[in-house]
Every structure is written in C-alpha cells, then in structure tokens.
Amino acid sequence: MNKGEQARITPAVVASDLTVSDLRAALAAGWADFKACPAFGLFFAAIYVIAGMFIYFALFVRGEIAWLVPAAAGFPLLAPFVAVGLYEVSRRREAALPMSWRAVLGALRGRGDEQILSMGVILFVGFGFWIMVAHGIFAIFLAESGIGSESMELFRTGAGMMMLLVGSIAGALMALAFYAITVVSLPMLVDRQVDFITAIIASLATVRSNKSVLLIWAAMIAVALFVAMIPLFLGLLIVLPVLGHATWHLYRRSVGEVDG
C-alpha cells in the first residue's frame, strides 16, 4: 500500500460536543479571513451573484414565473461548491502558506483525483432534480388556480399560497439533506486526500452527533442567504464569503484524525 492510499483511508474522529459558542467563533474567524483576503471572497461571491442575476432576469423577462421561483429557492444548493475556493483561502491562511490566485483556483480541481468534481456533479444533479420537483408542485397548483404561469397574481390566491407552503417544505427537506452531506465533506476534500464517499460519511456523522447545533447553523445559513439575495443577490458579496470561511473553521473544530 503506498503513502497516498494510506492517507486516503485514514479514519476521522468526529466531535460530538459542538456548542453555539463554536458557531460564534467560526463566524468571527470567517469574518477575519474575509477581511484579510477580501479579493478572493469577492471574486467567488461575484460569480454566484452574476449567475443569480442572469437567471433572474432571463426568466423574469421571459415571464417564466413557474421556473423563476424554484430556481431562486434552489439556487443556494450550489453555494457549498462555490465556497471550495474560500475553504482553500482559509486553509492556506491557517497554515501560513503563501496566497496566490493559482493556488486558490487550483483547489477547484481538487487533489487530482476528481473527488471534488464528483461532489460538484452530485450538487448540480440535485439542483436539477429540485427544479423538476418544484416545477411539478407549481404545475399541480397552477392547474387549480386557473391563472397563467406568467402572472404574479398566482401567489395571492389560495392555491398559490398552498403551493408556496408545500414547495417550501419540500425545498427545506432537500436543502437539509444537501447541507448534511456537504457541511463537512467539501472542506474535508480540500483539506485531505480522501474519497468523496468517506467525506460524506464524516459529514453525516458530524451532523448526527451535533444535531441541535448544526441545525442552528443550517438555519443561520438559510436566513442569511435568503436576506442577502433580496437586493438583487448583492448581499451575497459579503455573506457568502464570510459563511464559506466560517464553515471551514467549523469543519476544523468538528473533525480530527486518528493518531498514527
């Protein structure tokens, strides 16, 4: 067995004692990382913001309200993958490594084993699945309302409000599932040479061992992203980098390695 294979199968020790204080500490450290290296955070957040604006205007101008609502609701599902570069910034700053665009952008390729790419594929497939589910929910209630899909009046009807309720519950469950498999796995793939299945297992174990605290963290992320998206996604220029860096520090607090 070569050295790389040994590194790949090194087991992880998952903390079971996370507290709300750890969330505050992670946010403080995330803010410090963003202030220290703002260019990287703004760059990655800008990609997300521009993509969000494009989707919004493309669908709104075309009157595709039936696609606009689920696209906006599901867009945060892709945020963890966008944050990979932010994890690398925090990792390099923590280890006092030189910071460069080449090194940070190179993190998106992973460690040459396509593990991060595999996680990206999972997220994009999940986003597509959510769009189909949300559009199906929309179509069901749209048929009952008798109002065209291009009209915002739909959301003022009883059917429209029920659609938003059912869609919100379905979206929340899907978002929670994606959160559980990515909150630790993606920073771990940046940090260590492990396969994405091992990283997902560690992520699920961390959530299972710290349910209440990590549910609070999930709620904080959801609220922050929602509020940041309201002013044409522009709030994400600050919120997304800070949350990305903070998630790295929460991962470092949550997961360790077995000695030897």
The tens digit of pLDDT for each residue in 164-205 reads 788 778 888 888 888 999 999 999 999 988 888 999 999 999
Burial class (CB in 10 A: 0-12, 13-18, 19+), 207: buried
Task: Tell me whether residue 128 is exposed, middle or buried, using C-beta atoms within 10 angstroms of its C-beta: 0 to 12, 13 to 18, 19 or more.
Answer: exposed
* pTM of the model as a whole: 0.81
Higher pLDDT, 111 or 68: 111
Dmax (CA) for the chain in angstroms is 66
Q: Does the pLDDT value for residue 40 go beyond 80?
A: yes
The pLDDT value recorded for residue 78 is: 64
Give yes or no for residue 122 having a pLDDT over 60: yes
The pLDDT confidence band at residue 241, using thresholds 50, 70 and 90, is: very high
What mean pLDDT is reported for the chain?
A: 81
Region of residue 110 (phi > 0: left; psi between -120 and 50: alpha; otherwise: beta): left
Q: In 3D, which of 84, 86, 88, 75 has the Cα closest to residue 49?
A: 75
